[in-house]
Amino acid sequence: MHIISKVRVAICTAICLATPVMSERLPLGCYVRDYSLQHLQAHPDQVVDRISLDFSQLDDLTRDITAVDVEVLLADQGHAAREGYGGQRVLQSAANFMSPLEFHTDCDGGSFAVIRFSLESVLIETTGFRLIGDDMTCVDEFVETDLSEQVPGSPTRYLLYRAEDAACDW
């Protein structure tokens, strides 16, 4: 092997070892974000007062599937308030059936993507993640709103922080 080839291999190896690798395997558990009154006042289009994501392993013997239970307390502002849903607690479930970092809901209710995650936090982006009421059914009457801030269906990001599992049971 030529000296130049050895140098190239050494440089490539050093770069690869120094570059953090993000596994596409989400850490399981609870992530929560409670927005302060000051934050909500500064962002009047925001529709989320509190949000929790509880990631768990789905029992599927043929595939490696992660499920997530999403609970949201809608803020009394933005399109949630205009639609009459401000202050309501809504739920949704989703799983990553198609891609490790794409979570799709039941009942054709949209999806969200995990943009970035660590043991301490998770950043998601939704472009139309529909929320339903406490009964968690697709056929009964349900709250039909989504997590977008501007026009329903517009991309919106939420940064949540790791919490004790009990924080996702509210």
What are 77-125's pLDDT values in tens digits? 998 999 898 999 988 889 998 888 999 887 677 889 999 999 899 999 9
Domains of the chain, first to last: 23-168 (2.40.128)
Q: How many residues does the chain have?
A: 170
Task: Output the six-digit token pair for 49.
Answer: 């007062």
Rounded distance between C-alpha atoms, residue 95 and residue 46, angstroms: 25
Q: Give the pLDDT score at 20.
A: 37
pLDDT band (50, 70, 90) for residue 144: low
Collapsing DSSP to helix, strand or coil, 12 comes out as helix
With a cut of 50, say whether residue 29 has pLDDT above it: yes
- The pTM of the full predicted model, rounded to 2 decimals, is 0.79
Instruction: Give me the pLDDT at residue 64, please.
Output: 80
Amino acid at 99: S
Would you say 35 and 62 are in contact if contact means Cβ atoms under 8 Å apart? Answer: no
| Cβ atoms within 10 Å, residue 58 | 13
Report CA-CA distances (Å) from 51 to 34, 82, 91.
Answer: 7, 20, 10
Beta carbons of 69 and 100 less than 8 angstroms apart: no
| pLDDT of amino acid 59 | 76
Q: What single-letter DSSP state applies at residue 128?
A: -
Q: 62 or 12: which carries more pLDDT confidence?
A: 62
pLDDT band of residue 48 (cuts 50, 70, 90) is very high
For residue 7, is pLDDT > 90? no
